[in-house]
Amino acid sequence: MRLTRMAAWMAFSGALVLSAIGAACQEVSGPKTFYVDYDAGSDDADGLTPATAFKRCPGDPAASGKAAQTSLNPGDTVIFKGGVVYRGSVVVQWSGVEGQPITFDGNTAGKFGAGRAVVDGSEVVSGWRKVSSAQEASGNAHWKNLWWTWMPASASPFSANLYQAETMLWVAQGPNPSDPHYQDRASDFYEMKPKSATPSTLTDTEVFVQKDPSAWDGAYVAIWAQPNFTYYRKVLSYDPGTATLTYETMPAPHYEQPRGRFAMMNHLSLLDSPGEFVFSPEKDGSSRVKVYLWPPAGDPNRTPVTVSVRTVGFDINGKSDIVIQGFVIQKFLARQPHRGAGVTNDAAGAERIEVLGNEVRWCNLDSTWKHAGIFLAGIAGGVVEGNLVHDNRRCGGIYVMGGSEHVVVRRNVVRKCGYVGIWFMGAPRCKMLFNTVEDNLGTHANALTIYHGSDEVFVFGNRVRNSQIAVSMEKVKDVTLAYNDFHSPSYTVVSWFETTGTKVFNNTILSDEKKALYLSLRETRESTVRNNILEGLLIAEPYEVDHNLFVGHFQGWENLPAKVRERNLWEPDLSKVFVNPKKDCRLREGSPAVDAGVDVGFTEDAEGKKVPFGAGVDIGAYEYVASPPALPVARGGNG
């Protein structure tokens, strides 16, 4: 009897041991790969094979079933099906560990679907009807081209972010903008007459000639005001007797007239071009808003129109060891508390974040400034590399903000974004390397910005073309700019105030207004400027300025102190310096910049060529090579 009990106990104990071993094996079974197929997946599947893919990603607030119950662990990967439009957002709920990140992948291997996965913040707007008469469109002369529908109550003229397929649509405006992507550009606006504006009123007897007090009902006035920003204020009333609008009170001072500018927006009287729309004051019983559209691609029931309804593609949510790679992320509407439309981190404590090889496009914002396609705050260590961020209205490119440090922003292209291209603010010891910013022409849309506590930032191998100010700095210390190629229409590199210890080495800095390097304003001091090609200089003592080549005709050369002219060169004719001054700023044979610099410690130039390549270090961003090939994408080894 005793033996039988002993045997039973041993058998039971053995079963417990085996069960424990099995559980332990299950716990250490290793990283998993999950699959997401928005079109054909199911949240009740296990997500572990392409055939049993989830519909929604774990972390999507709209996920259900097993997808909602699944936790991601260090080393796990979630692959979204290529070529499929995923209409959702992901809020990351888990951290990886160093060396084993959690990876969200947009089909980079190309084995799950075709092409990249698309994460989309919009929904299709249905129920479009043709306008049947001029009366239905308040007398609009183009009524035969117009359609209308009801838009969600949450949408507004500036937050709807409407597209017809891949074509941007925009709020009707007067005067018509030269480029609708930049509806805030003050150069397209009316000039304010002297003493015509108060914080809440505007008088103009040439623009406001309508006799009906309801003539501007539902409209907005866009006002360019301090500090170089465009504000959209709703019209509250109109007095035809005095030609005066009353609008929502301005949050900032007007510029002194006649410098001030304004435009009228969102009114049927302004709708006169394909692509324009207007949110009318009319609402239905569900508070939906009636919207009129001149669709550029015809019937919007056949070529769908979308409205942005989600605020962010991927929210890192303060988690660590996260990789987001290989996606197209589009049509999101950045809104507080999120400040990034495509990828965002707004919570402190995140470490080792990587955002790699994504395309972020067609986003907008429902707020004021400091929103971007990629926005990272509170990051300790990370890489933003190989992304294309483009065609985002009123929305910047890549921002690394307060509480972040040791973040590298490398080999990205930022093109035609509505605000700053790449911005470091409160982000010390970060790097901008080998990025391109071009066609960034919105109001206050500087290419590269380094502000407020972003000390010891390293800026190397970047290229800026057809944008506002190439580099703006303020309240920073010990920033290094080296081997960059910058060209701007006005100021190119500027410090607004309290910038000390800036090192400017081996850059090519050109300015149409001969304002290439402007380091003189309000406590900007202790700058070192060496081995640069400069089209203009204004600098405050104390400074070191030597071994630079000044180019072009500008008054600054004659006005420079004798000690500066003695230690630097001047060549008025840019064609003697560059291969092609308008297109290719590499050095030509016989350029006075060849071998004319001094060693400042770098081993490669902006293209990765050895420094020095010839007998000595060259001046500017590029070492001279006989018969240079087509300008390649920059690479480097100095960062």
In this structure, the answer to whether residues 50 and 79 fall within a common structural domain is yes
Is residue 233 within 8 A of residue 247, CB to CB? The reply is yes
Is residue 87 within 8 A of residue 62, CB to CB? The reply is no
Classify 225 as helix, strand or coil.
strand
Least confident of 27-36, 47-56, 320-329, 426-435: 27-36
Is residue 7 in a domain?
Answer: no
Determine the distance from the C-alpha atom of residue 403 to the mean position of all C-alpha atoms in its chain, rounded to a whole number.
19
In this structure, the answer to whether residues 107 and 130 fall within a common structural domain is no
- What was the pLDDT predicted at 628? 60
Residue ending a domain, among 380, 414, 445, is: 445
The whole-number average pLDDT for the span 36-44 is 99
For the chain, what percent of residues have pLDDT higher than 90? 84
What's the CATH number where 66 sits?
3.30.1910
What is the value of pTM for the model shown?
0.92
Is residue 214 within 8 A of residue 245, CB to CB? The reply is no
Residue 5 confidence (pLDDT) above 80? no
In this structure, the answer to whether residues 159 and 281 fall within a common structural domain is yes
In this structure, the answer to whether residues 300 and 318 fall within a common structural domain is no
In this structure, the answer to whether residues 43 and 177 fall within a common structural domain is no
- What was the pLDDT predicted at 59? 99
In this structure, the answer to whether residues 378 and 362 fall within a common structural domain is yes
Is residue 36 in a domain?
Answer: yes
In this structure, the answer to whether residues 135 and 273 fall within a common structural domain is yes
Residue 15 confidence (pLDDT) above 60? no
Q: φ, ψ for residue 268 (rounded to 5)?
A: -60, -30
Q: Which residues are CB-neighbours of 13 under 8 A, at least 6 positions away?
A: none
Is residue 533 within 8 A of residue 619, CB to CB? The reply is yes
Give the H/E segment covering residue 260: none
The whole-number average pLDDT for the span 383-389 is 99
Is residue 351 in a domain?
Answer: yes
Is residue 113 within 8 A of residue 81, CB to CB? The reply is yes
Classify 259 as helix, strand or coil.
coil
Give pLDDT tens digits for 163-186: 999 999 999 999 999 999 999 999
Is residue 230 in a domain?
Answer: yes
DSSP sequence for 126-185:
---EE---TGGGTT-TTGGG-EEEEE-TT--TTT---EETTEE-EE-EESPPSSGGGTT-
Give pLDDT tens digits for 606-631: 999 999 999 999 999 999 998 666 65
In this structure, the answer to whether residues 148 and 264 fall within a common structural domain is yes
The whole-number average pLDDT for the span 540-567 is 87
Q: Shortest CA distance to 448 belongs to which of 478, 509, 492? A: 492
- What was the pLDDT predicted at 447? 98
Q: What proportions of the chain, in percent to the nearest 5, are helix, strand and coil?
A: 10, 40, 50
- What was the pLDDT predicted at 629? 60
Alpha-carbon span 220 to 17, nearest angstrom: 73
Q: Mind spelling out the 3-state secondary structure of 463-528?
A: EEECCCCCEEEEEEECCEEECCEEEECCEEEEEEEEEECCEEECCEEEECCCEEEEECCCCCECEE
Q: Shortest CA distance to 221 belongs to which of 277, 159, 157, 142? A: 157
Is residue 50 in a domain?
Answer: yes
Ramachandran class of 243: left when φ > 0, alpha when ψ lies in -120 to 50, beta otherwise: left
pLDDT band at residue 20 under the 50/70/90 scheme: very low
In this structure, the answer to whether residues 295 and 403 fall within a common structural domain is no
Q: CA-based diameter of the chain, in Å?
A: 113
pLDDT band at residue 28 under the 50/70/90 scheme: very low
Residue ending a domain, among 307, 342, 365, is: 307
In this structure, the answer to whether residues 272 and 368 fall within a common structural domain is no
Q: Shortest CA distance to 330 belongs to which of 123, 93, 154? A: 123
Torsion over CA of 43, 46, 48 and 52, rounded to 10 degrees?
Answer: -70
The whole-number average pLDDT for the span 401-418 is 97
Determine the distance from the C-alpha atom of residue 185 to the mean position of all C-alpha atoms in its chain, rounded to a whole number.
17
Give pLDDT tens digits for 464-518: 999 999 999 999 999 999 999 999 999 999 999 999 999 999 999 999 999 999 9
Give pLDDT tens digits for 219-235: 999 999 998 889 999 99
- The DSSP symbol for 70 reads P
The whole-number average pLDDT for the span 51-69 is 99
- What was the pLDDT predicted at 10? 45
Q: Mind spelling out the 3-state secondary structure of 570-638?
A: EECCHHHCEEECCCEEEECCCCCCCCCCCCCCCCECCCCCECCCCCCCCCCCCCCCCCCCCCCCCCCCC
Helices (H) and strands (E) in the chain, counts: 4, 57
Alpha-carbon span 471 to 481, nearest angstrom: 10
- What was the pLDDT predicted at 369? 58
The 10 Å Cβ neighbour count of residue 135 is 10
- What was the pLDDT predicted at 520? 86
Look-up: residue for tokens 């507004």? 156
Range of the domain at 96: 29-111
- pLDDT winner (highest mean) among 10-19, 168-177, 190-199, 336-345: 168-177
DSSP sequence for 343-362:
EEE-STTEEEEEEES-EEES
Alpha-carbon span 300 to 167, nearest angstrom: 12
In this structure, the answer to whether residues 256 and 320 fall within a common structural domain is no
Give 624: exposed, middle or buried? Use CB within 10 Å, 0-12, 13-18, 19+: buried
The whole-number average pLDDT for the span 523-529 is 94
Is residue 71 in a domain?
Answer: yes
Alpha-carbon span 524 to 394, nearest angstrom: 30
Give pLDDT tens digits for 133-158: 999 999 999 999 999 999 999 899 99
> Which residues are registered as beta bridge partners of 493?
471, 517
Number of domains in the chain: 4
- What was the pLDDT predicted at 378? 96
Classify 117 as helix, strand or coil.
coil
Q: Shortest CA distance to 454 belongs to which of 377, 355, 537, 348? A: 377
Is residue 469 in a domain?
Answer: no
Q: φ, ψ for residue 310 (rounded to 5)?
A: -115, 155
pLDDT band at residue 553 under the 50/70/90 scheme: confident
> Token digits for 617?
């270090």
Give pLDDT tens digits for 302-353: 999 999 999 999 999 999 999 999 999 999 998 877 788 999 999 899 999 9
Ramachandran class of 107: left when φ > 0, alpha when ψ lies in -120 to 50, beta otherwise: left
> Token digits for 54?
């989830």
Alpha-carbon span 376 to 384, nearest angstrom: 10
- What was the pLDDT predicted at 136? 96
Is residue 456 in a domain?
Answer: no
Least confident of 5-19, 49-63, 108-122: 5-19
Residue ending a domain, among 307, 339, 373, is: 307
Alpha-carbon span 578 to 89, nearest angstrom: 48
For the chain, what percent of residues have pLDDT higher than 70? 92
> Which residues are registered as beta bridge partners of 477?
500
In this structure, the answer to whether residues 62 and 107 fall within a common structural domain is yes
